[in-house]
Chain A
Amino acid sequence: MRARRPPVAKADYYRGVRTAPYDLLKELAIATIAMLAVVLVLSAILSSPDVPSATIQSWARSEPVDFVTTAASELAGQSTTAQYGPPYNDGSGSVQSLGPIAPQQWAGVHVAVNAPLDYVLEPLSQATVGDQTLASALSTFNAATATQQQGWLTAYIQALGGATVVNSQVVVASGDYGPVPTLMSRLLGLARTGGLDALLLTSDHFYQTDYSKPLLFLADGGYFPGLAQAQDLTGSQWGMMNETGRYPGQAWLWLYTLWYQIPPFNSASNADLLVVLVMTVLSLGLLLIPFIPGLRDIPRWIPIHRLIWRKHYAELAHRRR
């Protein structure tokens, strides 16, 4: 079943083949109208999913302790994003490689994210107007040594384990936290108003379409994955091909998603890279089937073609008799 053969004139190629009238454009027109009818019916009956997006404001209002814990870990440089690595920063927490193959490291930083500055210190510095307490807390924090800052933050993050919410404020047991409780209280207040959603998008441009920073911040907390878990969208729930509600989602990603459910991929620290490599090889295999002995011969070995051309083979057999 070779793919390449010497060119043959069509008249020779179709010699002995019976032809029948065929109206290509009529068939296409009927198919197009029928398809419109089908999608109109499906749209009218089943609609389409549109669960509202999560915001930092909804996060701060729904789960203030989780918000403050995440913000404190951003400030301490301990969050997933703060330690991620390329393309966001120089960390190594989420860098994947396969032996000496490390394309993520090779590519370097292209979407720079400085978690302490971008998520806490810069937004707060823009909110100091008319708030001397906040300005003073920021000055104290910035003037402290790195060791002192980490000491305050570590103690505060530990205390957040027993935090309560009183009058929309996160309250922890007394301790030596320096200015951190003031910073976090102000950041929570800013987030509750929706101001932090806007501040994370600001830069030196007026128009903004890049949501990298707020999305990474949301992903670092427990609120956002919790919403996804409730919608059966996490990785262990075949999340990449699912979508909210009872809709088919990206069913065509089933093979890609499958690998994440089985060993060794489901326990590998470089699972993403491994799955991408496997899918690249499989895609190349699909592309090059006409040139791969064995794969290209399967259609001859398993005679499904006898069903496809059932009438034609019956006619051939009749003619031979």
Chain B
Amino acid sequence: MSEAGEAGSHPDGAATEPGWTAAVRDRLSRRLTVEELLPTRQPSYVGSWVYVFGVVTIAALVWVVASGCVLAFMGSAWWHTSSLGHFFNSIHFWSVQMFFIFMVLHLWGQYWGAGWRDGRAATWMVGVVIFLFSIVTAFTGYLVQQNFDSQWIAVNAKDAVNSTGLGGFFNVLNFGQMYGLHVMLLPIGVTLLAVLHILQVRSRGVVRPIGDPYVAEPTAPGEPLP
């Protein structure tokens, strides 16, 4: 690769320093400025109630992670023998329920607003991946409760997983494997994806309402307006 090809550039297109680091830095600075990340003004249509669902989903995720950290720190058996532990488990439980309620409302809100328009398909897709990841994360949570629910869900779920050929690699009867996935890998995945999703939203900005296209939009002959 030539030096010119490696060179970074300013937002106005002028090259700066050569190298991967400069290229990534300049690309990031073009895609997302601090002003875009932490805006103080937004289009007035963002005042709709539908935009609250995404923020409330993040708020619920905060308490899912926080209560989960306490439960993980105190050990998997703590909440069965301590009333304080059971209370923290209840906080974790209801935070998860709230997380899913508002995530689904957010998903429906974005569907009916066609939030993927105008170059935002990747934002929608990452959101759907978060939804699917969250289902697997919650499922492993039910498997590691160490009570009757865990036993019954594991015994029933094994047949579906086994039918795909994955039962030997994702063994729902193996508490150790499910616990590791639930308290470590899957929450990290959901959290990182949520951060990516937020950065995508902040980088692109909020999509315009349906039927209210931006004036500079190129429209092919015969193509319907967005």
Answer whether A and B are interacting partners. Answer: yes
Cα separation A219 to B173 with both chains bound (whole Å): 12
CB distance from A154 to the nearest CB of B (A): 27
Encode A264-306 as 1/0 by CB contact (under 8 A) with B: 0000001011011000000100111111000010011010110
Q: List 27 A-B contacts (CB under 8 A).
A: A1-B226, A5-B118, A5-B119, A28-B55, A31-B58, A35-B62, A42-B97, A43-B87, A47-B90, A50-B86, A51-B149, A87-B171, A94-B162, A104-B164, A111-B167, A215-B154, A215-B173, A218-B155, A224-B155, A243-B149, A270-B163, A272-B159, A272-B160, A290-B121, A308-B109, A311-B48, A312-B48
Closest 6 CB pairs of A and B: A110-B168, A209-B176, A103-B165, A107-B165, A43-B90, A87-B168
Map CB proximity to A onto B115-128 as digits: 1 under 8 Å, 0 otherwise. 01111110011001
Q: Is the CB of A19 within 8 A of B43?
A: yes
Residue A250 at the B interface, CB < 8 A?
yes
| B50 CB within 8 Å of chain A | yes
A44 to chain B, nearest CB (A): 8
| Chain B interfacial residues counted at CB < 8 A | 101
B interface residues (Cβ-Cβ under 8 A, vs A): 36, 38-48, 50, 52, 55-56, 58-60, 62-63, 79-80, 86-87, 89-95, 97-98, 100, 104, 109, 111-114, 116-121, 124-125, 128-129, 131-132, 135, 138-139, 142, 145-157, 159-160, 162-169, 171, 173-177, 179, 205, 208-212, 214-218, 223-224, 226
Kindly state whether residue A36 has any CB partner on chain B within 8 Å.
yes
- Contact A308–B50 (Cβ < 8 Å): yes
Is A296 a contact partner of B114 (Cβ separation < 8 A)?
yes
Given A54-B148, A233-B152, output 14 extra A-B contacts at Cβ < 8 Å: A14-B208, A19-B43, A20-B41, A22-B40, A35-B63, A48-B89, A48-B92, A51-B149, A103-B165, A244-B147, A253-B135, A311-B44, A311-B47, A315-B44
A162 at interface by CB-CB < 8 Å: no
Q: Tell me the complex Cα distance, A308–B150, Å.
A: 40
Given known pairs A18-B44, A243-B142, A312-B44, the reply for A299 and B114 (CB within 8 Å) is: yes
Tell yes or no: A131 within 8 A of B by CB. Answer: no
Q: Is the CB of A109 within 8 A of B174?
A: no
Per-position 1/0 for A217-257, Cβ under 8 A of B? 01100001001100101010001100110011011110000
Contacts of B55 in A (CB 8 A): 27-28, 31
Q: Could you say which residues of chain A place their CB within 8 Å of the CB of B168?
A: 86-87, 107-111
**Closest residue of B by beta carbon distance from A31:** B59
Q: Do B174 and A39 have beta carbons less than 8 Å apart?
A: no
Contacts of A49 in B (CB 8 A): 147, 149
Whether A52 and B165, one on each chain, are in contact in the complex, defined by CB atoms closer than 8 angstroms, is no
Contact partner of B94 (CB less than 8 A), chosen from A17, A39, A296, is A39
Q: Does A175 contact B (CB under 8 A)?
A: no
Q: In the bound complex, what is the Cα–Cα distance between A288 and B146 (angstroms)?
A: 37
Do B48 and A96 touch across chains, with their CB atoms under 8 A apart?
no
User: CB-CB < 8 A to A318: which residues of B?
Assistant: none
Specify which chain B residues have a CB less than 8 angstroms from the CB of A244 in the assembled complex: 147-149
B148→A211 contact, CB < 8 A: no
Q: What residue of chain A has the Cβ atom nearest to residue B52's Cβ?
A: A31
CA distance A24 to B156 in the complex (A): 43
A157 vs B39: C-alpha distance when bound (angstroms): 74
List the A residue with the shortest CB-CB distance to B37.
A24
A39-B63, A289-B111 are contacts. A212–B205 as well, Cβ < 8 Å? Answer: no
A263 within 8 A of B: no
B214 near A14 (CB under 8 angstroms)? yes
* Contact present for B118 and A210 (CB under 8 Å): no
Whole-angstrom distance between the Cβ of A27 and the nearest chain B Cβ: 6
Contact A8 B118 (CB under 8 A): yes
Closest CB in chain A relative to B55 CB, distance in Å = 5
| Most interface-central of B38, B117, B138, B208 (chain A CB within 10 A) | B117
**Are A211 and B175 in contact (CB-based, < 8 A)?**
yes
Q: A residues 29-57 with Cβ under 8 Å of B? A: 31-32, 34-36, 38-40, 42-44, 46-54
Within the complex, the shortest CB–CB distance from A62 to chain B, in Å, comes to: 14
> Is the pair A22, B216 in contact by a Cβ cutoff of 8 Å?
no
Q: Which of B139, B164, B205 contacts A250 (CB 8 A)?
A: B139
Residues in B with CB closer than 8 Å to A288 are: 125
Contact of B135 among A20, A111, A252, A299 (CB under 8 A): A252
A1-B114, A210-B171, A215-B155 known; A252-B100 Cβ under 8 A: yes
B59 to chain A, nearest CB (A): 4
Chain B nearest CB from A288 CB (Å) reads 8
Within 8 Å of chain B (Cβ to Cβ): is A7? yes
Closest B residue, CB atoms, query A51: B148
Contact A19 B41 (CB under 8 A): yes
Interchain CB contact under 8 A, B41 and A36: no
State the Cβ distance, B137 to closest chain A Cβ, in Å: 11
Does A316 reach chain B (CB closer than 8 Å)?
yes
Cβ–Cβ contact B117 & A3, under 8 A: yes
**A10 is an interface residue with CB less than 8 A from chain B:** yes
Measured CA separation A291–B122 after assembly (Å): 11
A174 to B55 CA separation, bound complex (whole angstroms): 71
Task: Determine the distance from Cα of A252 to Cα of B79 in the docked complex, in whole angstroms.
Answer: 25
